[in-house]
Amino acid sequence: MHDPRSASVPGPPVEDAAVPTRTRGRIAAVAIALIAAGMIWPWILAERDAFSQKSYDHDRFHLPLVRSFAAQWPAVDLSDYDSATGPGYHLVLATAAQVLGDGETMLQMLGSIFAIGLLATVAWRLARWRGSELEGLLLTLPLAASPYLLGNAIWLMTDNLSLWLLAVPILGSSLLSATPSRLGRWGVAAAAACFVRQINLWVLAPIAIATWFATWTTTRRPGVGDRSRHASWSISPEAVAEERVPIPEPPEGRPGPVLLAAAIAFLLY
């Protein structure tokens, strides 16, 4: 007799067995990192005034604040500083400045690492999700070409570090099932993102949705056909006394609900 529980459920693309799962995504990550460095670093080294609005914030707020924190290190006064953002970005660069110095070009090169890291993380995760290094790279190229990302990578701006930290819970909760260890990592990354930019509180919404999905108790009646896998999640009072069998957890790689929650939260915040 056909067992309905054995019915296959469509999931993400099947990965090539010839490529170890543990290393999948590294080629896409390295490729996009090299492309990004080739796009960003020449602008920094040429000292050209590209993206003038970004350069204004760089000169007026962020560069002076990084140097101020570096001069105060390690007893940095966070009670009153000249920036509307959190102090996380400036503290990271001020710490690096203790070793590498606070020269403007050096700080810009260090700041660009956040954009490169963001792109590499996105390409790596998308390549693993799609099962293809090429797809992961191609899907990340539009982000690499974004003037928003490039401007924030050339000048000292908090956005790319913020987005890099946000990529951990957003991509994780969208493409992976929520486990206690993953939720812990996502929570730490979200807290760090809020320390860089307070507006990142919106990311709590997709994490909450992912946690909600992970804690649902899903059930079905024995003998009901494959449609029971897609039945309503609600449990009627009459069902309490009936025998129940757990439904297998949906496969990883279905980002829709969590990404929708992330988009709505971002737009409303």
Q: What is the pLDDT of residue 228?
A: 37
- The answer to whether 31 and 132 have CB atoms below 8 angstroms apart is no
The answer to whether position 165 is within a domain reads no
The answer to whether position 92 is within a domain reads yes
How many separate domains does the chain show?
1
Query: What's the pTM value of the predicted model, to 2 decimals?
Result: 0.72
The answer to whether position 211 is within a domain reads no
Backbone angles phi, psi at 10, to 5 degrees: -60, 135
Q: Higher pLDDT residue, 92 or 12?
A: 92
State how beta strands 219-220 and 245-246 pair: antiparallel
The answer to whether position 40 is within a domain reads yes
| Crossing angle between the packed helical segments 88-100 and 180-196, to the nearest 10 degrees | 80
pLDDT surpassing 80 at residue 268: no
pLDDT surpassing 90 at residue 165: yes
Confidence tier at 262 by pLDDT (50, 70, 90) = low
5-25 average pLDDT score: 52
The answer to whether position 8 is within a domain reads no
Q: What is the tens place of the pLDDT at every residue in 59-114?
A: 889 999 999 999 999 899 888 888 888 999 999 999 999 999 999 999 999 999 99
The answer to whether position 74 is within a domain reads yes
pLDDT surpassing 50 at residue 269: no
Q: Which domain holds residue 110?
A: 20-157
pLDDT surpassing 90 at residue 121: yes
The answer to whether position 142 is within a domain reads yes
Q: Which residue has the tokens 């899903």?
A: 218
Read off the tokens for 129.
Answer: 């999700």
pLDDT surpassing 80 at residue 4: no
The answer to whether position 226 is within a domain reads no
Average per-residue pLDDT for the chain: 77
Q: What is the tens place of the pLDDT at every residue in 19-69?
A: 456 678 999 999 999 999 999 999 999 887 777 778 888 988 999 999 999
